[in-house]
Amino acid sequence: MYFNSMYYIVYFLFLIISLTNAQSSLISNLLCAQYYPYDVQQQQCECEDIATKGISLKCIGHSYVPHFLPNIQYHVIELESCSQDLQIGDKTFADLNINTLRLRHCNLIGLNEESFSKINHLEKFIIENSTINSLTTSSGNFQDIFYSDSFKTLKLLTLKNIHYHQLHKHDKKLNLELLLNQLQQLNRLELSNIHIDNYHYHNLTSIGQNLTYLKLINTHQTSLLPIERLKSLERLILLHLPKIFETQSLISSIKKLKHLKYIDFGHNRLTHINDLQSNTIDQIDLTSNLIEFIDEYTFEHLPKLQALTLTGNPLKYIDKNAFCGIENLERLYIKDPKTNEISPLDNCILLSHPNLDIKQENQAKFQCNCQLWHIYQLQKKHKKEINRLFTLNHVCIVTNNTLLQSNYYQQLKNHLNSPLYINELVNYLNCSLNDQCDRLCQERKIKTTLPPIQTQKTNVIIQKKHTSLSTSLYSFFSYILFLLLLAFLYL
């Protein structure tokens, strides 16, 4: 009897909860139909009800800013592909509750400091693929709009592919330091294909304190603010900005960021990253740079590195000890469509990192040498774990280095730059025990680190000495005659 009563009570409570959820859902589903029935029917705006967050409104092809209601919570308002110039004057969105405001593929006119003022709860602001035809700000600069009170709570800002029709070239540029000072609460900043100037404000020291994500793509700047100011930064993406790396020691400053997890420095014409140090970075992307060689112990000061992307680099050689000091490296991407048939990996990496997931071009093959032959022997005997990239039926490429280990030089030379089955190497190579991959990560190559000798300029004038050819020849033959005379006396 007791259990039956409890069963009915639980069932009754479940029924009440279900009806309550259904009622709230019904009310939510009525918002679009109640407030924007005409827009939906005429396909002017796409309205979507968002549970507990109000509605999202996407308006396409408008020539004006639609009428919005102050009593609705707008999760997203998006104006896209405007049919004519879109006038955004004073307080266009005033008193509205908007979480995200996005403008895409529009020609914007009439922008000023008050265009986006008095918006409640604005956290995300995005302008993409748009043109600014006219500004009426006090200084005529687009950056002035961010002095608006609505942006005080902004957490995300994205500006992509913005074009200007302004009189002064300077007015088309943003200043990154000033922007971070205007938007103190910003967590995520993404600027792409816009102009950033190089002016530095030395009095703005406490900026970007909450910024965790910074992405700059082709922003035409030649310098960057001291990166250590962005103390909370977790992800740093700098693409198509080679001048930044040429004019300042950005890579060596990375170690000062104590929360950084991910960096992407693609398309920057980098030839090396030897000065990179960090105890927190676990992912590095260096796509499409000019890196040819990865030297030994290059990443020893990146102990938490898990994924390394070197795709699109003209890699020629990766040293067998390149990844020494990294215990958690899981993924390595070295694909390059322009690469030759020879893998840049030292064959010993197959042994030192047996579980490393290596992604390279399918046609890339290992270099034929004694190291590869010994790895083949180990794999055949199942004595040691070897990277799954290596298989017994693999072929390798005969190179000039292979010929140095040959037992039958002329025979092997006939296979130069051609594939050869690994199991056939024993017929051509003279391999000894010294050719095995031993002492991995135990030795370092001797490098010269002596500083250059400092010299000082002097004002001493050295008179030029003129020497004729006849005098030089006379001295030479006199010296030879003297030596012959000595030899005659000795005998």
pLDDT digits (tens, 9 = 90+) for 424-455: 998 899 887 666 787 788 778 765 443 443 43
What integer is the mean pLDDT of 323-344? 87
Nearest alpha carbon to residue 254 among 301, 322, 202 = 301
Position 486 scores a pLDDT of 67
Look up residue 85 and give its two tokens: 């110039």
The predicted pLDDT at position 363 comes to 81
- 313 has a pLDDT exceeding 90: yes
pLDDT surpasses 60 at 176:
yes
Asked whether residue 146 is assigned to any structural domain, the reply reads: yes
For the ranges 18-22, 183-187, 251-255, 261-265, the lowest mean pLDDT is seen at: 18-22
136 found inside a domain? yes
State mean pLDDT over 341-365: 89
Torsion of CA 56, 61, 64, 68, to 10 degrees: -20
For the cut 80, the answer to whether the pLDDT of residue 19 exceeds it is no
Checking if the pLDDT of 98 tops 70, the result is yes
Q: Which of 213, 233, 253 is the last residue of a domain?
A: 233
Domain count, the chain: 2
Does some domain include residue 185? yes
- Domain assignment of residue 171, yes or no: yes
| pTM, full prediction | 0.81
How do beta strands 366-367 and 395-397 pair? parallel
- Average per-residue pLDDT for the chain: 83
CA-CA-CA-CA dihedral for 287, 292, 298, 304, to nearest 10: 20
Give CA–CA dist 277/287, Å, rounded.
19
Question: Under DSSP, is residue 469 helix (H, G, I), strand (E, B) or coil?
Answer: helix
pLDDT at residue 37 greater than cutoff 50: yes
Better-scored residue on pLDDT, 60 or 464: 60
pLDDT at 379: 86
Angle at alpha carbon of residue 368, lines to 364 and 369, rounded to 5°: 140
Task: Write down the pLDDT at residue 183.
Answer: 95
Domain that holds residue 98: 44-233
Distance of CA 116 to the CA centre of its chain: 33
> Each residue of 177-215: pLDDT tens digit?
999 999 999 999 999 999 998 888 877 778 999 999 999
In this prediction, residue 6 has a pLDDT band, given cuts at 50, 70 and 90, of low
pLDDT at 173: 84
322 assigned to some structural domain: no
pLDDT of residue 171: 61
Tell me, yes or no, whether 18 lies in a domain: no
Identify the band that residue 479 occupies on the pLDDT scale cut at 50, 70 and 90: low
For 464-476, what is each residue's pLDDT tens digit? 334 443 444 445 5
Tell whether 188 is covered by a domain. yes
Q: Is the pLDDT of residue 351 over 60?
A: yes
pLDDT average, residue stretch 384-408 = 88
Residue 48, domain CATH: 3.80.10.10
Q: Whole-angstrom Cα distance, residue 474 to residue 148? A: 90
Distance CA 404, CA 421 (A): 18
Residue 58 lies in a domain: yes
Whole-number pLDDT of residue 11 = 57
